[in-house]
Amino acid sequence: MTDWEGVSAPDAAEIEALAHQAVASLPARFAGHAKDVAIRVAEFAPEDVLDELQIDDPFELTGLYDGIPMTEKSIADQSGGPDVVWLFRRPILDEWASRGGVALNELIAHIVVHELAHHFGWSDEQIARIDQWWE
Distance CA 133, CA 13 (A): 25
For residue 6, being part of any structural domain is answered with: no
Which whole number is the average pLDDT over 97-119?
Answer: 90
Beta strands in the chain (DSSP E): 38-42, 63-66, 84-88
pTM for the model stands at 0.85
Q: Which residue has the higher pLDDT, 117 or 126?
A: 117
Q: Which residue has the higher pLDDT, 114 or 63?
A: 63
Q: At what angle do helices 12-24 and 104-119 cross, to 10 degrees?
A: 60
Domain that holds residue 90: 12-68+82-130
18-44 pLDDT per residue, tens: 999 999 888 887 778 788 899 999 999
For residue 43, being part of any structural domain is answered with: yes
Total number of domains constituting the chain: 1
Q: Are 84 and 41 in contact (CB under 8 A)?
A: no
Which whole number is the average pLDDT over 104-111?
Answer: 93
Which whole number is the average pLDDT over 95-112?
Answer: 91
Q: What is the CATH number of the domain that holds 19?
A: 3.30.2010.20
Q: At what angle do helices 12-24 and 89-99 cross, to 10 degrees?
A: 80
Q: Which residue has the higher pLDDT, 101 or 56?
A: 56
